[in-house]
């Protein structure tokens, strides 16, 4: 029968506590976890010339020049002088490297309405487009027009250029 002295018991207890602490506090390196998404670099596109066009309330994706021309031509020309502008002001894009993502919500007033991209990220199986559409609540819309939204009218449309990918694009926002 083994006899443990007090000194030996203290050493064993200290060793047990040290090993337990190492095992419990992550003595082994934690595995590296990649994020679930990758933010994409986006560049806002402005018309090459000042144009007055209004697009239907929709989300848009163009991966080729033909698709981009078709999307751009969905915009209603509000000023007949824009018909004489080259490509009707449509920004030039290198579709070998980039694609265009757009959102439109018709028109509103700059003091009450707003539209912008919050983020565009690459997920495992799709591209996620997060956007925000600010619009007045019911209390503002029931007030007289002299006190509400007195700023100038604006077209609510935003276009961005992002690296070209074949993944489907999903829009989240309102």
Residues 109-119: pLDDT tens digits? 666 777 889 99
Residue 81 lies in a domain: yes
Work out how many domains the chain is built from and give that number: 1
**Predicted model pTM:** 0.68
Residue 22 lies in a domain: no
**Closest Cα to residue 115, out of 25, 30, 55?**
55
When pLDDT is averaged across residues 145-160 and rounded to a whole number, the result is 69
Residue 130 lies in a domain: yes
Lowest mean pLDDT among 71-80, 102-111, 131-140: 131-140
Question: How far apart are the C-alpha atoms of 96 and 164, rounded to whole Å?
Answer: 8
**pLDDT at 152 (0 to 100):** 66
Neighbours of 62 (CB within 10 A): 21
**pLDDT at 168 (0 to 100):** 97
Residue 58 lies in a domain: yes
> Between β-strands 43-44 and 153-163, what pairing exists: parallel, antiparallel or unpaired?
antiparallel
Contact criterion met (CB below 8 Å) for 46 and 91: yes
Lowest mean pLDDT among 5-14, 19-28, 42-51: 19-28
Residue 28 lies in a domain: no
Q: Which domain holds residue 155?
A: 38-173
Q: Which residues of 96-132 are buried (b: 16+ CB within 10 A; e: fewer)?
A: eebbbbbbbbeebbeebbebebeebebeeeebbbebe
Residue 14 lies in a domain: no
pLDDT at residue 22 is higher than 60: no
Residue 31 lies in a domain: no
């Amino acid at each position: 029968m083994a006899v443990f002295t007090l000194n030996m018991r203290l050493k064993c207890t200290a060793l047990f506590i040290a090993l337990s602490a190492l095992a419990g506090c992550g003595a082994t390196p934690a595995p590296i976890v990649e994020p679930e998404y990758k933010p994409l670099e986006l560049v806002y596109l402005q018309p090459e010339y000042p144009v007055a066009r209004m697009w239907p309330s929709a989300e848009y994706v163009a991966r080729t020049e033909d698709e981009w021309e078709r999307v751009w031509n969905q915009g209603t020309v509000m000023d007949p002088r824009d018909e004489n502008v080259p490509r009707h002001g449509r920004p030039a894009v290198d579709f070998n490297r980039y694609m265009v993502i757009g959102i439109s919500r018709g028109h509103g007033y700059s003091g009450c309405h707003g539209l912008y991209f919050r983020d565009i990220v690459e997920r495992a199986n799709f591209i996620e487009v997060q956007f925000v559409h600010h619009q007045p609540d019911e209390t503002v819309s029931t007030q007289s027009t002299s006190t509400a939204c007195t700023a100038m009218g604006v077209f609510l449309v935003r276009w961005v250029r992002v690296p070209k990918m074949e993944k489907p694009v999903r829009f989240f926002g309102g």
